[in-house]
């Protein structure tokens, strides 16, 4: 190699080293300074798997952030649940009624302060401070089948007077269809064959994966959680989306497409199995509630986008299925869709955030008022 070529190669290597060093310094600045103190990302609670139930590691506190709209403090208690109660003792306090709230991210409620979810608002409406206590058992992504697991493993031993199960539209098919996710295999699932439930698939133990530590970095908290940047988002921003999703001609937006956090066509194609699963799980949950003398109350979210648009939604078929199966088992059922619709007609206030489909403080308040009335 000539001296000129060696000099050129050396120059390229130096430039590459300088560029790599600059990128490393910038990344460290972002991680250690920018995304911690100047533009803080979201704190992300670490998960745990205890007593065959996915939850969070006890004793964590932080602030859950989504864009510039949500900055809600969370507090994980001694049992691993987001709650203003530092502990869920098994022993009962004389003169205090106990209500267990079971569900997914709507009960977890990271989007509002840990002491301001619909559960706390419900018990506040039911009696003076200290006379009713709320035990929340909620983890994001849990389906209806996992609610049974949570009730059997966590709720029963605490013997609440009432159990409120909060249902959302993706609870049903995900009770028997396996979905990709960090801990979705650690949820109880059903096995359905030939139109009947043939067994329950126990949760697989959850352990932190190779990328779990990356989730805890300030950079991930800022990009992945606060600003919800995903690889596909970057690709679409640069190259444009691969294809546009639109409703079939003659149908309202969301009909036959995506609404209420579900793929309508894919979910409703499994309607027969959904009926079988819902019938089975409602029966199992009712039996567990009766075994400890607790009153069971089912509550289901509405299809809020359809309310704002002023049209019906195919997603409400799931509300009707849930109501039908609840009636079959004699379980009180509260459908929040007409509750939200009536409030929207009167007040024209949205129930969720712009950047997050979970209830905002107003949505929690409206839901709590209806639930408290149902529990009286």
SS (H, E, C) the chain: CCHHHHHHHHHHHHHHHHHHHHHHHHHHHHHHHHHHHHCCCCCCCCEEEECCEEEECCCCEEEEEECCCEEEEEEECCCCCECCCCCCCCCCCCCCEEEEEEECHHHHCCCCCCCCCHHHHHHHHHCCCCCEEEEEEECCCCCHHHHHHHHHHHHHHHCCCEEEEEECHHHCHHHCCCCCCCCHHHCCEEEEECCEEEEEECCCCCCCCCCHHHHCCHHHHHHHHHCCCCHHHHHHHHHCCCCCCCCCCCCCCCCCCEECCEEHHHHHCCHHHHHHHHHHHHHHHHHHHHHCCCEEEEEECCCHHHHHHCCCCCCHHHHHHHHHHHHHHCCCEEEHHHHHHHHHHHHCCCCECCCCCCECHHHHHHHHHHHHHHHC
Q: Give the residue from 144, 139, 137, 209 showing the smallest Cα distance to 177.
A: 144
- Report d(CA 137, CA 83) in Å as an integer: 9
Confidence of residue 250 (pLDDT cuts 50, 70, 90): very low
Quote the pTM value.
0.91
Q: Is the pLDDT of residue 247 over 80?
A: no
Q: Which range has the worst mean pLDDT, 35-49, 61-75, 215-229, 241-255? A: 241-255
Q: Is the pLDDT of residue 44 over 90?
A: yes
Tokens 């949505």 sit at which residue? 363
High-pLDDT (> 90) share of the chain, %:
80
At residue 257, the pLDDT reads 85
**Torsion region of 61: left, alpha or beta (phi above 0 gives left; psi -120 to 50 gives alpha):** beta
At residue 308, the pLDDT reads 98
- Average of per-residue pLDDT values in the chain: 92
Domains and CATH numbers, the chain: 84-207+252-375 (3.40.50.1110)
């Amino acid at each position: 190699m000539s001296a000129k070529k060696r000099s050129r190669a050396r120059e390229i290597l130096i430039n590459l080293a300088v560029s790599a060093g600059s990128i490393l310094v910038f990344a460290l600045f972002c991680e250690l300074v920018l995304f911690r103190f100047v533009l803080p990302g979201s704190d992300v609670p670490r998960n745990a798997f205890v007593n065959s139930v996915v939850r969070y590691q006890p004793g964590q506190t932080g602030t859950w952030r989504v864009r510039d709209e949500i900055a809600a403090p969370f507090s994980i208690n001694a049992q691993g649940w987001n709650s203003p109660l530092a502990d869920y003792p098994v022993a009962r306090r004389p003169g205090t009624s106990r209500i267990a709230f079971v569900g997914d991210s709507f009960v977890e409620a990271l989007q509002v302060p840990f002491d301001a979810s619909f559960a706390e608002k419900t018990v506040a409406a039911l009696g003076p401070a200290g006379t009713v206590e709320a035990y929340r058992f909620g983890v994001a992504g849990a389906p209806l089948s996992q609610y049974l697991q949570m009730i059997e493993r966590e709720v029963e031993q605490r013997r609440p007077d009432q159990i409120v199960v909060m249902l959302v539209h993706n609870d049903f098919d995900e009770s028997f269809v396996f979905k990709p996710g960090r801990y979705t295999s650690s949820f109880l699932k059903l096995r359905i064959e030939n139109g009947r439930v043939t067994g329950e698939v126990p949760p697989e133990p959850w352990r932190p994966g190779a990328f779990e530590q990356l989730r805890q970095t300030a950079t991930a908290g800022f990009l992945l959680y606060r600003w919800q940047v995903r690889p596909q988002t970057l690709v679409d921003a640069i190259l444009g989306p691969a294809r546009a999703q639109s409703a079939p001609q003659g149908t309202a937006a969301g009909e036959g497409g995506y609404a209420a956090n579900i793929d309508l066509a894919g979910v409703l194609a499994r309607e027969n199995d959904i009926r079988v699963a819902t019938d089975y799980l409602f029966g199992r949950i009712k039996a567990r509630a009766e075994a400890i003398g607790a009153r069971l109350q089912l509550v289901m979210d509405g299809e809020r986008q359809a309310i704002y648009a002023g049209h019906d939604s195919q997603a409400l078929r799931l509300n009707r299925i849930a109501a039908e199966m609840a009636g079959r088992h004699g379980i009180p059922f509260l459908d929040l869709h007409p509750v939200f619709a009536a409030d929207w007609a009167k007040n024209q206030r949205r129930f969720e955030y712009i950047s997050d489909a979970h209830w905002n403080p107003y949505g929690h308040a409206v839901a709590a008022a209806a639930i408290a009335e149902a529990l009286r």
